[in-house]
Amino acid sequence: MIPETFKALRAEQISDKIAKPVLREIPLSDLPENEVLIKVHYSSLNYKDALSATGNRGITRNYPHTPGIDSCGTVVYSADPHVKKGDQVLVCGYDLGMNTPGGFGQYIQVPGSWVMPLPEGLGFRDSMMLGTAGFTAALAIHQMELNGQSPASGPILVTGAGGGLGSLAINILAHTGYHVIAATGKTEETEYFTSLGATEIIGREQLDDQSGKLLLRPRWAGVIDTVGGNILSTSIRACLKHGNVAVCGNALSHEFQTTVYPFILNGINLLGIDSATCDMELRKLVWDKLADDWRPAMLKLISKEISLDQLPENIENILHGKIRGRVFVNME
């Protein structure tokens, strides 16, 4: 039976400020009129959700709002012929949790074109342990390999290594035969990074080159960058010839400085990674890899399950870089 109300974590505007998010009971009729209604079983916490939950207008224009860019669940109603009642599905990215009420609510109502069948072999919990972070890590590796990257090319640097995206990238890369260098502010977590398969662990300060040199001693053949800023700039300048640098995030800064020299003298390729609007065919292909050969062996070590009412404290923690790996949310 479809209830008249459901629980959701709401970010609300009080005068001109966004208050600390709170749990509310929301009428189902408040959901936007889209084709597919889904009962959400699990969601997950991403950095972007924390920004949306705390009033970042670049992500969410209007409040009150339910964040949550990730969700998986069961279809309870569908007006889309490609999606059937009872289907087990994933909805990640697009506008979910940005300006469309998101996965931190027990129900979502979304366009049929956003709905993807749960990949075979992946349960609800596993799919949200991975979530957008896992999908983005795998999409970055996929795009790098399409561009010629292979374990034989040399080591891969992963920045923001202790975060969700970074941890999953390390684990997938290591288990597909890459030598991985983890760059982190949490160098004391040696055991964690070693368990994920990192061969080297370096402090993020090593990637804050201030020499002004146009090119640096080459140290890696590819980069998965989740932080931006001078760390990205340093990573590009220290990349081996014809290396791929996958630009995924901005945890440090949305800006970075460069010259044309890494590109015209070393043939470095800058690959932009966009999980949100990624084409459905490519989305399915990458999720299928995650459910199969690329399934991170240490998924349980990387991920922590929380309940909906534990989200506010975890949102604070992710904003302050205090979370290691992934947090996923049991929505029951």
Ligand X SMILES: NC(=O)c1ccc[n+]([C@@H]2O[C@H](COP(=O)([O-])OP(=O)(O)OC[C@H]3O[C@@H](n4cnc5c(N)ncnc54)[C@H](OP(=O)(O)O)[C@@H]3O)[C@@H](O)[C@H]2O)c1
Which one of residues 34, 184, 235, 244 is an interface residue with ligand X (CB under 6 A)? 184
**Binding residues for ligand X restricted to 77-136, rule: CB under 6 A:** 132-133, 136
* Token representation of residue 208: 């804050």
Instruction: Say how many residues touch ligand X, by CB under 6 A.
Output: 31
Task: Give, in degrees to the nearest 5, the angle at Cα 304 between 137 and 201.
Answer: 50
3-state secondary structure 155-170: CEEEECCCCHHHHHHH
What's the min distance (Å) between Cβ of 9 and ligand X? 17
Among 122, 196, 245, 248, binds ligand X (CB under 6 A): 248
Q: Of the two residues 219 and 283, which places its CB atom closer to ligand X in the complex?
A: 283
Contact between residue 57 and residue 17 where contact means Cβ atoms under 8 Å apart: no
* Residue 251 sits in the site that holds ligand X (CB under 6 A): yes
Quote the DSSP letter at residue 21: P
- Collect all residues with Cβ–Cβ distance below 8 Å to 138 and sequence separation of at least 6: 168, 172, 286, 287, 289, 290, 294
Name the residue type at position 70. Answer: D
Q: Which of 55, 68, 155, 163 binds ligand X (CB under 6 A)?
A: 163
Binding ligand X by CB under 6 A: which of 162, 197, 222, 296?
162
**In the window 33-62, what residues touch ligand X (CB under 6 A)?**
46-48
Q: 91: helix, coil or strand?
A: strand
Decide if residue 165 touches ligand X (CB under 6 A): yes
Between 101 and 160, CB nearer to ligand X: 160
How far, in whole angstroms, is CA 224 from its chain's centroid? Answer: 13
Which amino acid makes up residue 165? L
In the complex, least distance from residue 220 CB atom to ligand X, rounded to whole angstroms? 16
Q: Look up residue 81 and give its two tokens.
A: 């012929």
Residue 3 backbone dihedrals phi, psi, to 5 degrees: -75, 165
Does 164 contact ligand X by CB under 6 A?
yes
Q: Which stretch binds ligand X (CB under 6 A): 80-88, 101-109, 246-254, 304-312?
A: 246-254
Beta bridge partners of 23: 9
Subset of residues 190 to 229 that bind ligand X, contact rule: CB under 6 A:
204, 226-227
Between residues 78 and 244, which has the closer beta carbon with respect to ligand X? 244
Residue with tokens 């979370």: 323
Of 1-9, 13-21, 285-293, 315-323: span binding ligand X (CB under 6 A): 315-323
C-alpha distance from residue 329 to each of 131, 305, 309, 311 (Å): 11, 6, 9, 8
User: Cβ of residue 324: shortest distance to ligand X, in angstroms?
Assistant: 7
Site of interaction with ligand X (CB under 6 A): 46-48, 132-133, 136, 160-166, 184-186, 204, 226-227, 248-252, 273-276, 318, 321, 323
